[in-house]
Chain A
Amino acid sequence: MSAVRRFVLLGVLALAVLPTPAEAGRRPFIWVWDTEIVPKGDVELEQWLWVKSRAPGVPERTSNYWVWWGPVFGLTQRLELAVPFQVLATRERTQLESFDADLRLRFNPRGDDSPWQGLLRVAYHHTIHTTQPPRLDANLVQSFETEGGLRLVLDLGAQVGLPALRGQEGPVRLLGTYAAGVSYPLIEDELRASLEAFGEIPLQGIPGGQHHFVGADVAWTFGRTWVTLGVMVGLTPLFPETPQFMPRLIWAVVL
């Protein structure tokens, strides 16, 4: 079964078991981090299903399927904490891949009416059953929203792989990331359509080339739930090591 067909099947199954009546996406993008956070005192259960398909430039690399699952806590009017784990499936095996502690700090409190909002994301990604080292992620996110609801977001990040944290030898790995998105409300507070771009640039200690993607998303908020579904398409003709497709389904339910 192809990566896309398997992802669509998983998505349909996931939607079928969603709780009744849902309300609009808190994050309208599948890859770009945004500046909205969970209201203080609320807990959201967030799940992702996503796939990284094969890349023509790396034929030995198989498609990977991830399930990301975790609660997200609104700690204050500026800060939320997610503590997810990820399960990785390939054609050969399915296993627990990582745990994260993911903090997102808004520069202005929720309710601030400035069209410009900033957010700092800092995460520790602890890997298990994988050759990848634990890593620290940091993202600086800036959003701008017009009166009409048009939303522009820029997300610049870095991932620092630290082999020494697992007693491994090897240099510190450094990956630069960028992501940018534009989102427009089709139905106010309920339905958004978005376009986004994402890229990964190895800076130190990471074999392989750059990955660059563009994609489209749709985000729906209904009741206690928000759902964002999208596909990133790799710029494979220009960067052959870029996977061809990265579809992702995110859905979250407020507990």
Chain B
Amino acid sequence: MGRGALILLLSLAAPLAAAQQGTVRGEVRITVQGPDGRPVLKADRSGVVVYLTGYTEPPPSGEVNMAQRNKAFQPSVVGVVAGQKVRFSNNDVVVHNVFSRSRAGKFDAGKNRPGEDYTETFKKTGLIDVYCDIHEQMVATLVVVPNRAFAVTGPDGRFVLEGVPPGTHPIFAVHRRDERSDVSRAEVTVKPGGEAVVTLELNETRADDKHLDKHGRQYTPRSDAY
């Protein structure tokens, strides 16, 4: 076979392979405890990371940005592919010290002034709790996933995962609001070029935002001027 014919074959095969990929569409339902103690559906179902496992893909070349603004992380929930860089930009008017003590991605960005940033690469899959060493109220979550089939839900709890290879894959929904995460697991089968629909159920535990500073100590009370 000539070289030209091989290139032609490959160029025809590439879109064919893409056409073989499927889509997973669905919804996350979150149950919380109502005032009377009975379970009720939560209205706001945003900030849930839904992702597939069972195969790996290289990370996108671009960076993900997690900014600090008004003493909060924006966005506060981010999904990244293992090996991807995350830029922590201080877009605030005060100094921040972003850090994590999580096993999957321990880091310490140091004290960054407004306008400065720090970039870290997350190579291991897992949940990474991100905090500020100066402002205890600042809490964010990075979910490092093995492939590009992930999404973060909006208020309606709906998600779409595209470019999924055919087969049966574990699917997870992670809703992390404190040291304990709510995790839901199911399986989804994707046919070549097809669309699978799945509903994931999460039971929200009571939030407890207490955490330690970057050295493992209780936070020291500070003036709000910082």
Please list the residues of chain A having a beta carbon within 8 angstroms of any beta carbon in chain B.
21, 23, 39-42, 74, 77, 109-113, 147, 188-189, 223-224, 254
Q: Is A40 a contact of B110 with CB atoms below 8 Å?
A: yes
Given A21-B216, A189-B106, A224-B215; A111-B120 close (CB under 8 Å): yes
- A214 vs chain B, min Cβ distance (A): 31
- Known contacts A111-B118, A223-B217: does B85 contact A42 (CB below 8 Å)? no
**Across the two chains, which residue of chain A brings its CB closest to B215?**
A224
Q: How far is the CA of A245 from the CA of B216 in the complex (A)?
A: 37
State the Cβ distance, B144 to closest chain A Cβ, in Å.
Answer: 13
| CA distance in complex: A110, B95 (Å) | 18
Q: Which of B103, B110, B121, B216 sits near A23, CB closer than 8 Å?
A: B216
Tell me which of B106, B118, B123 contacts A77 (CB under 8 A): B118
Q: Return 15 A-B CB contacts under 8 Å, by A number.
A: A21-B216, A39-B97, A39-B108, A39-B109, A40-B110, A42-B108, A42-B111, A111-B109, A111-B121, A112-B119, A189-B106, A223-B215, A223-B216, A223-B217, A224-B217
Residues of A within 8 A of B85 (CB): 113
**B172 touches A (CB below 8 Å):** no
A124 to B146, CA, bound (A): 48
Do B123 and A74 have beta carbons less than 8 Å apart? Answer: no
Cβ of A41 and Cβ of B118 under 8 Å apart? no
Whether a CB of chain A sits under 8 angstroms from the CB of B112 is yes
A105 to B4, CA, bound (A): 52
A40 & B217 in contact (Cβ 8 Å cutoff): no
What 10 A-B pairs have minimum CB-CB distances, sorted nearest first? A41-B111, A40-B110, A39-B110, A113-B121, A224-B215, A39-B108, A111-B120, A223-B216, A41-B110, A111-B119
- Which residue of chain A lies nearest to B95 when distances are taken between CB atoms in the complex? A41
Residues of A close to B109: CB separation below 8 A: 39-40, 111
Assess whether A42 is in contact with B123, with CB atoms less than 8 Å apart. Answer: no
B110 touches A42 (CB 8 A): yes
Residue interface bits B92-109, CB-to-A below 8 A is 1, else 0: 000101000001001111
Are A74 and B215 neighbours in the complex by a CB distance under 8 Å? no
CB neighbours of B119 from chain A (8 A): 109, 111-112
Interface size class on chain B is 10 to 19
Please tell me which one of the listed residues B97, B106, B120, B215 contacts residue A41 in the complex, with CB atoms under 8 A apart. B97
User: Of residues 105 to 143 in B, which have CB atoms within 8 Å of A's CB atoms?
Assistant: 106-112, 118-121, 123
Distance, CA A112 to CA B85, complexed state (A):
10
Q: How far is the CA of A110 from the CA of B97 in the complex (A)?
A: 14
Please tell me which one of the listed residues B97, B107, B215, B217 contacts residue A111 in the complex, with CB atoms under 8 A apart: B107
Of B103, B106, B110, B215, which is within 8 A of A110 by CB?
B110
Q: Is the CB of B123 within 8 A of A113?
A: yes
In the assembled complex, the CB of A80 is this many whole angstroms from the nearest CB of chain B, namely 11
Query: Residues of B contacting A110 with CB < 8 Å?
Result: 110, 118
Residues of B within 8 A of A21 (CB): 216
On whether the beta carbons of A254 and B106 are closer than 8 Å, the reply is no
Complex Cα gap A42–B95 (Å): 13
Closest beta carbon of chain B to A72's beta carbon, Å: 13
B85 to chain A, nearest CB (A): 7
Q: Are B112 and A40 in contact (CB under 8 A)?
A: yes
CB distance from B104 to the nearest CB of A (A): 11
Shortest Cβ distance from residue A38 to the other chain B in the assembled complex, whole angstroms? 8
Write the nearest CB–CB distance from B135 to chain A, whole angstroms: 14
B4-40 CB mask vs A (1 if < 8 Å, else 0) is 0000000000000000000000000000000000000
- Distance A254 CA – B216 CA, assembled complex (angstroms): 12
A204 CA / B73 CA spacing, docked (Å) = 57
- Report the Cα distance A109→B111, complex, angstroms: 14
**Are B215 and A23 closer than 8 Å at their CB atoms?**
yes
Which of chain B's residues have a CB closer than 8 A to the CB of A113? Answer: 85, 120-121, 123
| Alpha-carbon distance A112/B87, docked complex (angstroms) | 11
Contact residues in A for B118 (Cβ distance below 8 Å): 77, 110-111
Cα distance, A41 to B134, chains bound together (Å): 12
Residues of chain A within 8 A (CB-CB) of B216 are 21, 23, 223-224
Complex CA distance for A112 and B123, rounded to whole angstroms: 12
B113: min CB distance to chain A, Å? 9
Q: State the CA gap A173–B110 with chains docked (Å).
A: 39
List chain A residues, Cβ under 8 A from B95: 41
Known: A21-B216, A39-B108, A77-B118. 14 other contacts (CB 8 A): A40-B109, A40-B110, A41-B97, A41-B111, A42-B110, A109-B119, A111-B107, A113-B85, A113-B121, A147-B123, A188-B103, A224-B215, A224-B217, A254-B215
